[in-house]
Structures are given as structure tokens and as C-alpha cells.
Chain A
Amino acid sequence: MSRTRRCRMDRLARWAMGGALGILGIAFAGLLLSVVMRGLPHLRPSMLLADGQGGGIAHALVGSLCLGAGASVLALLLALPAAVALQRAYAPPRIAEAAALVLDLLWGTPSIVYGAFAFLLMVWMGVRTSLLAGILTLALVMVPVMTRAMTEAFRSLPPELWEQATALGATRGEITLKVALRQALPGLVTAFLLAFGRGIGDAASILFTAGYTDRLPGSLMDPVASLPLEVFYQLATPDPTVQSRAHAAALLLLILVLGVTLISRALARRASRHRL
């Protein structure tokens, strides 16, 4: 290829990449702008403080936080031990690879599948929609995300860490508890937040399981509202005052997910800076 031709190719490639980025940027900015423009005027304190009966979305916010917190803590109880057990020192490479594959599959499974599975189970057991059912289903959605991300956090630890702690006479358990957990902590927190972020924005898994209400959650056995379903249900009504709640909920959800993402990003960056 001649020199000028190569330069032209290079310029073309740059334009193509720039164009793709531009389209993405415009689409994303448009989305963001429309959510913010519609949501911001309605996101007043009164909207945040009143529940559905009072014309607000407090019930959905509290519901989402309960669902997200409950499910992510529950998921943590499964994901952390699983990720510990999948460390190089414990799991043979073939098992670790198989586990990663399965977790990736589960991660990629649409959450409506989890929702439907849990719903069938609930029908079979004769259980009503409730906060508890929502938490359990959402935890199922979160576990693969969290385990996979935590596995990566452990796997990216430098082998020297294990080598030198072992040379000092530490057992695998001691290394895990005293060294690996500490070294991987930022990565583990990121994994937790990643799963939380995914869970709190998820509508499909709780559609049939958590139910819907316009009150604050009373007990684990009551149905509970959530921000994604608030958007889903309220946007469909013709009444503009009800629609305004959907817009406020959408904006709030965006802020929550963005906040969690930014925090986990910042933690991940800090972690990589402190690693050698």
C-alpha cells in the first residue's frame, strides 16, 4: 500500500470511529436529557416524602432500597464464599473455568426468566407476592454478577502475594483471611455495588414476585413497590399527575444507578493505583 493510501485509510478509520462515538454520544445525551427534563420538575421534596396515596414516590424509593439492600446482602452471603472457593489455591483450573462459564451464562440470562421461575415456584407453594419473594428473586439475579466480579477480584491478585505469604508459613485459610481479602477489598466492594446497581434497576425479576402497592412496605410478607415498576405502571396511565411520578421515579433511578456506578468506578481506580 502506498504511503498516501495508508494515510487516507488511517483518516477514514478515524472518521468512522469518531462517527460511531458521536452517534453513541448523541443517543445517550438525548436519553439522559429527556429523563432529566421530564423528571427534574417533578422531583420535589413533596414527591420524595409522600407515598403513593399522597401522590409521591417514597413508597417506591423505600421499596427499591429494601429490595436492593436485602437482595445484595443475601447475594453476598453466597457470592463471597463461592468466590473464595474459586481462588487458584483451592479450585483446579478446569473447575474454575467451568464455574466462570456457568456464571457468565447466568449473568446473561434475562431477568424475566428468573422472575418467571420464581413466580412458578410461588404459585406452586401458594405464596403471594411479597417483599421477601422479591428479595429472594433479586438475590438470584445478583449472585452470578457478584460471584463473577468477586472471582475476578481474587484472580487479579498478584501470585507473589500467595507465594510470599505461603513462604512465611501461612496456610491457605490464613492467607485468604489476613491477606487476600484485604488486598482484594476494593474489588470486592466494587463487585457488591455492581450487583446492587444491576439489581436496583431491574424490573422483570420483581414484576411477578414483589408485586406492587402504593404504600410503604409494612412487613416482609407484604407486596412492595419499586422504582422500576413505578415507572412501568405509572407511565401507562393517561393522567399527567400520575405520569409525573413515573418521570420522577425514572430520574431517581438513573441518579441511584449512576451514583453506584461512579462509586464503584472510583473504588476500582483506587484499587488499581494501589496495586503494584
Chain B
Amino acid sequence: MTHIHIKNLHVAYGSHTVIEGLDLEIPDGGIVAILGPSGCGKTTLLKSLNRLLDLHEDVTVRGSVLIDGEDIYAPGSDLLALRKKVGFVAQRPFPLPMSIHDNVAFGARLHELPTVADRAATSGTVERHLRRAGLWEEVKHRLDAPAKGLSIGQQQRLSLARALAVEPEVILADEPTSALDPLSVRIVEAQFRALRQDYTVLLVTHILRQARRLADYVIFLYDGHLVEHGPAETFFNAPVDPRTQAYLHGEIS
């Protein structure tokens, strides 16, 4: 199982420091919920773990992130392998300009996973991952339709299927149910529960109840600082920091 160890991480956009001196060892396997008020740096933290921050202009990252003992910020580290290993489901879904089928197959084809050499073989993989994201029944008759035509909620599940199809070991999910109706939320949550056996899932969420339902471990960020973290039981039942207590009581959101 993949092990993530963050050491003294600083992230700044221009001169605006967003994450400051974060030290954290993320437990292997299970669902790790990342909680915190809006703008506290949850998305930034997620994106620092697969080096997606590299895409932003004038962003500076200091410190190190060790994944299975290797610093992903070391010069010459293999970014493609990193992104294969650490999948990402974005806060705002964006379908690639191609069919639903090809969206799911996109990453798998890039990494030349043996199962996806041709269409006949891909369709099995595509079906499996669409099912896992709870989208299969809705799209099975229009796999060749452009993914743009899906609703936002469907696009969000497509994003999840697309990320799963790369067969990562860690999944970074940024509010993956924010645009879903209650039924789809239940499907996707069930999926995450199933994933916790084999994967480490880092799940950013705004919904406290979702975190209570799913999390094995909780990380609470406030204004770019790691305030409190621990097993879900302890975190929810016996929070230590006053800010955590206030957050859990809905006094800061």
C-alpha cells in the first residue's frame, strides 16, 4: 500500500502563502477526509500531492512529499508515473472533448494498460469503471455520444470513472459529490467505501455528515495550517483544538 509522508510543506501563489509548514503522515489505506472552511487550502493540498500545482504560473512549493519513500519534488522525479499512481478527481468536472467511452479510456490508453489495446478490450474496462462510478446504467446506450452532453452530476461521476480507469493506488477526490443528487451521492459513497479496501482515498468534503459516514481518518485544515488530525472516532468524539470544536459545532464553515 502506498505511503504518503508530507514534510514541512509550504505552498504560495505569488506572495500569498496558502499552506505553511505542513507536516503530516497519511495512514495507508482507507478514506482520509480533509475538512476545513472554504479557502483554507484543501484543494491546494490535494494538488500538491500529484504535482498538479506545477501547471499554475508563479506557484512556489517548498518542502517535500514522500510517496513510497521517494520525494516527488526531487529534481528528475517521474511525473507520469506519479500521476498514474495518484489519481485525481477535480472539484469542477471537465469532460474531455471526446465521447463518453473515450473519456474513460483516455488515461488508460496513455499508460498503455494491457487491457485497453483495442476497442473490444476497452469496452470491458470502460464498463467496469463506469459501473464503479455509478454512471453505467445512464450512459450504456450512448457511449459514443460526446461527453459534453452529460449533466454536471453525470460529468462528476464520469471524472471519477476516468480517474479510476487509470488504476491508481491513491485517489485524490475534491468534493466528488458536490453536484450530485442524493441517490447518486449514495452510489458514489458506496463506491468509495468499496475502494477503501485497496486504496488510499483522500477525500475533500464540505459535508460533515459525509465525513462522519465515510472517513477512517480526518485531517482538519484552517487557514493553511494543519490544526488537528487523527482517527475519525477520536476526531469527531473528542476534538482537542478549540477551532476544531467550533468547526464541528458549525460555528465556522
Contact = CB atoms under 8 A, between A and B. Distances in A.
A276 B148 contact: yes
A167 interface: yes
Interface size band for B: 20 to 34
Nearest to A172: B55
A83 to B, nearest CB: 17
A168 B162 CA distance: 8
B84 to A, nearest CB: 5
A159 B83 contact: no
B106 interface: yes
Interface string A155-185: 0001111111111111100100011001100
Interface string B95-126: 01110000000110011000000000000000
A93 interface: yes
A162 B55 contact: yes
A11 interface: no
B57 interface: yes
Contacts of B97: 179, 182-183
Interface string B18-54: 0000000000000000000000000000000010100
B80 A164 contact: no
Interface residues of A, number: 25
B94 A158 contact: yes
Contacts of A92: 57
Contact of A276 (B88, B90, B94, B107): B94
B98 A163 contact: no
B134 interface: no
Contact of A166 (B52, B159, B162, B166): B52
B98 A169 contact: no
A184 to B, nearest CB: 9
A89 B57 CA distance: 9
A169 B90 contact: no
A269 interface: no
Interface in A175-220: 178-179, 182-183
Nearest to A183: B97
B163 interface: yes
A274 interface: yes
B142 interface: no
B83 A169 contact: yes
B57 A163 contact: no
Interface in A8-64: none
Contacts of A158: 94
Contact of B80 (A163, A165, A171): A171
Interface in B59-94: 80, 83-84, 87-88, 90, 92, 94
A186 B197 CA distance: 45
B90 A160 contact: yes
A139 B55 CA distance: 34
A108 B242 CA distance: 63
A270 interface: no
A156 B52 CA distance: 20
Given A158-B94, A160-B90, A182-B97, A167 B80 contact: no
A37 B111 CA distance: 63
Contacts of B83: 166-169
A183 B95 CA distance: 11
Q: Which of A89, A161, A170, A183 has the most CB of B within 10 A?
A: A170
A162 B57 CA distance: 13
B179 to A, nearest CB: 13
A169 B96 contact: no
A170 B148 CA distance: 20
A169 B162 CA distance: 11
Contacts of B55: 89, 159, 162-163, 166
B89 to A, nearest CB: 8
B52 A163 contact: yes
24 contacts: A88-B57, A160-B94, A161-B94, A161-B96, A162-B55, A163-B52, A163-B55, A163-B90, A164-B94, A164-B96, A164-B159, A165-B106, A166-B55, A167-B87, A167-B90, A167-B163, A168-B162, A168-B166, A169-B110, A169-B166, A174-B110, A179-B97, A182-B97, A183-B96
Interface of A: 88-89, 92-93, 158-171, 174, 178-179, 182-183, 274, 276
Instruction: List 3 tightest A-B contacts by C-beta distance, closest first.
Output: A168-B107, A160-B94, A167-B88
Interface of B: 50, 52, 55, 57, 80, 83-84, 87-88, 90, 92, 94, 96-98, 106-107, 110-111, 148, 159, 162-163, 166
Given A164-B88, A168-B162, A169-B166, 19 more contacts: A88-B57, A89-B55, A92-B57, A93-B57, A161-B96, A164-B90, A164-B159, A165-B96, A165-B106, A167-B83, A167-B87, A167-B88, A167-B90, A168-B83, A169-B83, A169-B84, A170-B107, A182-B98, A274-B148
